[in-house]
Structure 1
Amino acid sequence: MATNSRIPGLRDHTPQERLAMVAESADVDPTALQALLPGDGLSLAHADHMIENVVGLIGIPIGIATNFTVDGIDRLIPMATEEPSVVAAASNAARIARSHGGFSTSYTGDVMVAQIQVLDAVDPHGTRFALLEARDELIALANEQDPTLVSLGGGAFDVSVRVLPTRAGVQVILHLHVDVRDAMGANAVNTMAEAIAPRVAELAHSRTLLRILTNKADLRITRARAVFDGELLGGAQVVDDIVAAAAFAEADPYRAATHNKGIMNGITAVVLATGNDTRAVESGCHSHAARDGRYAALSQFEKDAEGNLVGTLEVPLAVGLVGGATRAHPTAQAAVTLLGVRTAQELAGVIASVGLAQNLAACRALAAEGIQRGHMTLHARTVAASAGASVDEVGAVAARIVAERRIRVEYAREVLAELRNEKHTP
C-alpha cells in the first residue's frame, strides 16, 4: 500500500493516536516508529557515543506535516522544531499545491568538493597547470582511500585549481570533486583530501595547509517547483500581493534574510529530524543566497496564465542516508523509515519541497492577514505552558489570552490563577 499523506483531523487526536494513524497511512509497522516516542529514542548511552562529555539530552518536538505529494509520491514528513505554526503552515501549503500535482523536483547530483590550500608557491599559475596535469594521478590516489564508495559508482572524478589573491599573499586552491552517492560525504572527502595533500605539495614544490570539504555545495543543487491554486490562496489580490512580497525579498537583503529564514524553518526541521547536519545545510543555503555578490531570496513566486501562483526554490542540500547521526540516532532512523525515501536525491527533494511550502505559507500569511494572527494563536499554547499551565489547562488559558489579544506570560499567569480559583470555588 502506498503512503496517503491526507489525514484529516490529525490535530484532534492525542500524540499516541496520531502516531498510530501516521503509521497506518504510511503503511509502516508501528514498532518501527517507536523511537519517535520519549524513552524509546536516543538514550544517554547512545548519546555518550555520539559526542564528548555527555551529561544529558534535550528534547525537540517532532510533528508530522501532511498533504505532501513530491514527484508523484505521497510523503508524510517528520519535522523537528520548537517553533509553533511551522508544521501546520507547511501542511496547509502542501494542501493548496496538491490540487495541481504537488511538488516536482530536480537534482544536479551527489557531488561534494574538498579543498586543498597550497601556500608559498613561487609560480602560482605554473603550479596550477602542474596540478591539473596530475589530475588522473590525484583522482586515482583519492579513490584508493574509499574502494567501497567507488564500487557503488561514486568516488573522486575531477580536479579544478584556482589562483587566489588574499591579504596573506597569492594562494593556489585545489578542488577535488567527489560523487558521494547517498552519504552526506564530509568524512569521505576529508579523508581523500588528507591522502592526496602530500602529493599536491610535492607537485607544487611548496606546502599545503587546510585540507577539508567546503559546505558551499553548489554542485549538489536541489530544485523544487509547485503550483499553488489561486482561489485556495484567497484570490487574485492575494496572489498579486505574494508576488509583490517575493519581489521585495529578491531585491532587498534585509527582507531576504527573514524570507530565507522562513524557508529554513521547513528545511532545517526535516534535516534535523533525519539526523543530518543542520549547520552544513544552513551555511550552504545562505552562501547560495549570496552567490551573485548580494544576499537575496532563495525562492521566486510568479503568477501563471490561469492566475495561480508558481513557486520555485533552488538550494544546495548536502544530506545523506548513510553514516553519521542518520544511522546512529534511533529517532532519525524512525523518521527516515516514515518518509520512505530510498536515496539522498529523494530525501533532498522532500526537504526542498518542505522549504518551499513553508516559504509560501509565510508569504501568504504576511500578504493576506499579517504573520501574527495565525502564528500567535499557536504560540499562545507555548505561552500558557510557560506560565505553568498543566496539559489539561493549556487549551483554556490559550483560548482566553488569544481572545483578549494579550498573549504574554504574565497575563497567562493571571488567567491561570483565575481558572484555578474558579475550579476550587464552590
Structure 2
Amino acid sequence: MNATSRIPGFYKLDPDSRFRRIVEASGLPADQLRPLQEKDAAMAAIADRMIENAVGTIAIPLGIAANFLIDGTDHLVPMATEEPSVVAAASNAALIARERGGFHTSGTAPVMIAQVQILDVADPQGARLRLLEARDELLELANAQDPLLVELGGGARDIEVRLVESGDFRCVVVHLQVDVRDAMGANAVNTMAEALAPRIAAIARGRSLLRILSNKADLRLVRARAVFDAEKLGGADVVDGIVDAYRFAAADPYRAATHNKGIMNGISAVVLATGNDTRAVEAGAHCHACRDGRYTSLSHFEKDADGHLVGSIELPLALGLVGGATRTHPTAQAAVTLLGVRSATHLGRITAAVGLAQNTAALRALATEGIQRGHMSLHARNVAAAAGAVEDEIGALVERMVADGHVRLDRARQLLAELRPEPEPHRQ
C-alpha cells in the first residue's frame, strides 16, 4: 500500500490502536516500528495524558551526579542526558569544589513576565502614562484570576510599560510581573494576561494582539559560585589556562556558543530529569547571554589572592515543582524527591551549581588534555556496542580503539573481528 499521513480520528485512538494505524499507514513492517510502542501500559497511559497522539516513550539515560555540596548541604543530583562524560565531569568538578566549601548560591523571587501587546495606539507616550496610572486596578484584576496563588504568597507584583519600535512598526507592550511561587508559571501568567488584555487595550485606546509570557525570565535569576583548589585542578598553569579559556568565550561569540553549550549540558540534564521545560530554560539562558548587546559567556572565572580558581554564574531559570511533567511523570517525581529541594528557587540554585561544575570540568579538560580524551573513552562504549560487541568484549574493544585514537564504527568492527577466534573448520 502507499504510505499516507492522513489518518482520520487518529487523536481519538488509544496508544496501542494508534501504533497499529501507523503501521498500516506507513506500509512498514511492524517489527521495524516496534521500538516506538510503549510496552508498559501504565506508562503508555501517562504519556497519553502528557501529549497528543502518543504511541510510546523514549528512554534517555538518567545518571546521578555525586559529590555536590551546595550551601552546606550534600545533594545527589539526577541528570538525564544522552551525552557521554557529562555526569562524570560534573561529579569530578563537584569533588574539587568540596575542598574549599563547595558551591554557594542565591536567587531572586520567582517572578515571571507576561506581555500584552497593544497596536494602533495614536499616542503611545500618553498611553504609557495612562497604563501606569491604572497600575493598582490592573494588579487587582490580575490577582482575581488566581486567588490560590495569592493565598500562597504569590501573585501580580507590578507592571512595566514599554514602547517597542522597529522601522515603521510600533506597539505598546505591558509587562505584568507575577510571583509564581513554586510553579514554572506559564499557565498562571498567560491566564492573567488574557484577562487583562481588554482593559489594557481600552486604557491605551488600541487593540490587543499577543498575550503571553516571556521566556526572557530576567527577573527570576539564580547564582552560584565556588572556589576550585589550584592543586586539585592540576596546578597554577591549569588555573591560568581555564581563565584564558573563559576570556576567549567572553570575547568571542563563536567560542561563547560552545562554552555556554557546555554549561547547558549540566543545566538541561537536571531540568529534563525533574520534568521541567528544557526549551524555555535554554531560550532564557541564551537570551541572557546577549543582554548587553552581544553574545558572551554566562559564567565568569578568575583567580583569587591565593591562586585558586573562582567560578561564578548568574542566569534566569524558570523551573517549577508543581504542574506539568514534574507532577505527572513518576521519574521526575522521584528525581525531585532525591534532590530534597524545598522550593522552585532552591531547585534553580542547585541547577545553576551543576551548570557551573559542568563548565569548570569542560574548561579544565580543554586547558589540559583536550576535550576528546575523556569524552571519546565513554563514547567508545557506544560505538563498541553498535558494532555488535557483547558485554565481555566491550572493555577490550574500547581499550584498543582509544589506544589507536580511532573511535569509529568501521574500526570497531575490524577490531571485533580480530578479537574473536576463528571458527573451527568443519570436518566431515
TM-score (norm 2): 0.88
Provide the residue aligned with 2:152 in structure 1.
152
Helix, strand or coil at the partner of 1:49: helix
Q: Distance in 2 between matches of 1:91 and 1:40?
A: 32
Provide the residue aligned with 2:326 in structure 1.
326
Provide the residue aligned with 2:57 in structure 1.
57
Give deviations 1:101-157, integer Å, cap 9, x for gaps: 100001011000000000000101111111111111110111111111000000001
**Superposition pairs of residues 34-49 of structure 1, within 5 angstroms:** 43-49=43-49
Task: Report deviation, 1:388.
Answer: 2.1
Provide the residue aligned with 1:267 in structure 2.
267
**Superposition pairs of residues 333-412 of structure 1, within 5 angstroms:** 333-412=333-412
Provide the residue aligned with 1:27 in structure 2.
none
Q: Read off the aligned partner of 1:231 and give its amino acid letter.
A: E
Helix, strand or coil at the partner of 1:421: coil
* Structure of higher CA gyration radius: 2
Return closer, same or farther for 1:301/1:403 CA change in 2, 3 Å cut-off: same
Task: Report deviation, 1:169.
Answer: 2.2
Q: Distance in 1 between matches of 2:64 and 2:156?
A: 37
Return closer, same or farther for 1:100/1:39 CA change in 2, 3 Å cut-off: farther
Q: Read off the aligned partner of 2:304 and give its amino acid letter.
A: D
**Native 8 Å contact 1:41 1:330 kept in 2:** no
Share of identical aligned residues, percent?
Answer: 69
Give deviations 1:20-71, integer Å, cap 9, x for gaps: xxxxxxxxxxxxxxxxxx9889711100000011122111000010000011
Give deviations 1:396-421, integer Å, cap 9, x for gaps: 22122112221101111122223333
Q: Is 1:131 matched up with 2:125?
A: no
**Superposition pairs of residues 192-271 of structure 1, within 5 angstroms:** 192-271=192-271
Return closer, same or farther for 1:418/1:361 CA change in 2, 3 Å cut-off: same
**Native 8 Å contact 1:42 1:331 kept in 2:** no
Q: Distance in 1 between matches of 2:421 and 2:282?
A: 48
Helix, strand or coil at the partner of 2:420: helix
Task: Report deviation, 1:344.
Answer: 0.8
Helix, strand or coil at the partner of 2:148: helix
Q: How many residues align?
A: 389
CA RMSD of aligned residues (A): 1.7
Q: Distance in 1 between matches of 2:271 and 2:103?
A: 18
Q: Which ranges in structure 1 are unaligned for 5 or more consecutive residues? A: 1-37
Q: Distance in 2 between matches of 1:49 and 1:374?
A: 40
**Native 8 Å contact 1:107 1:223 kept in 2:** yes
Q: Distance in 2 between matches of 1:41 and 1:183?
A: 29
Give deviations 1:357-376, integer Å, cap 9, x for gaps: 00000000000111111111
Return closer, same or farther for 1:424/1:65 CA change in 2, 3 Å cut-off: farther
Q: Read off the aligned partner of 1:345 and give its amino acid letter.
A: T
Provide the residue aligned with 1:7 in structure 2.
none
Helix, strand or coil at the partner of 2:199: helix
Q: Distance in 1 between matches of 2:370 and 2:239?
A: 15
Q: Distance in 2 between matches of 1:240 and 1:306?
A: 13
Give deviations 1:181-205, integer Å, cap 9, x for gaps: 0110000000000011111111112
Q: Distance in 1 between matches of 2:294 and 2:390?
A: 48
